[in-house]
Amino acid sequence: MGSRHDTIQRSTSAGYRLPDRRTAQQLASTSSVSFNKSVTGAQPTSQPSTKEKENRCWEDTVRHDQVWREFVEAERRGGKRWHENWGFLKEYDSLGNKKEVEELPKEVPLFSDRIPNTTNQTIGSRMNTELGKTLVYMNYFLTGGNQKKKLGSELLPS
């Protein structure tokens, strides 16, 4: 006599389909609050030494790989869903007030009237200003060590 249990799919009260118990793959990692707690009334077991724990931990490398892959997948899923869960934080400041969006100017001048223009490390035409003179002075001392120097006679090849 056949069992009708084999043909019926399991489902939850909300109507979600559950995977078949025979084909369901068990997760390599578990998260349970009571995982590390001892059961009341149970006999305490002897604690293995740290060396035994370390050896047992490194024996099952396949399990380590599965746990690592699950953590990586969970991080990737969390990153994808960050915008819908936490994206609203970009619109508020640290005090919870809504940020005001600053509109950018439609046209921005290419050259500045206050700062000397530099292109390819060449200082622009405003060299007679105090700021330009300071830049040249600073540039001389910052790059002075990188300039070619004439070697002394004892350092020249013979």
pLDDT of 73 reads 94
Tell me the domain boundaries of the chain: 49-101, 114-144
For residue 111, give Cα distances in angstroms to 108, 120, 135. Answer: 9, 15, 17
Give the separation between CA 94 and CA 71, rounded to whole angstroms.
Answer: 30
Each of the 158 residues of the chain gets a pLDDT tens digit; together they read: 555 555 566 666 666 666 655 554 555 555 555 445 555 555 556 777 888 877 776 677 888 888 899 999 999 998 888 888 888 888 888 888 999 988 988 887 776 666 655 654 555 555 677 887 888 788 878 887 777 777 777 777 76
Tell me the three state secondary structure of residue 14. coil
pLDDT of 72 reads 94
pTM: predicted TM-score of the whole model, two decimal places? 0.27
Q: Is the dihedral of CA 87, 93, 94, 97 positive or negative?
A: negative
In 3D space, the residue among 78, 59, 6, 62 whose CA is nearest the CA of residue 29 turns out to be: 62
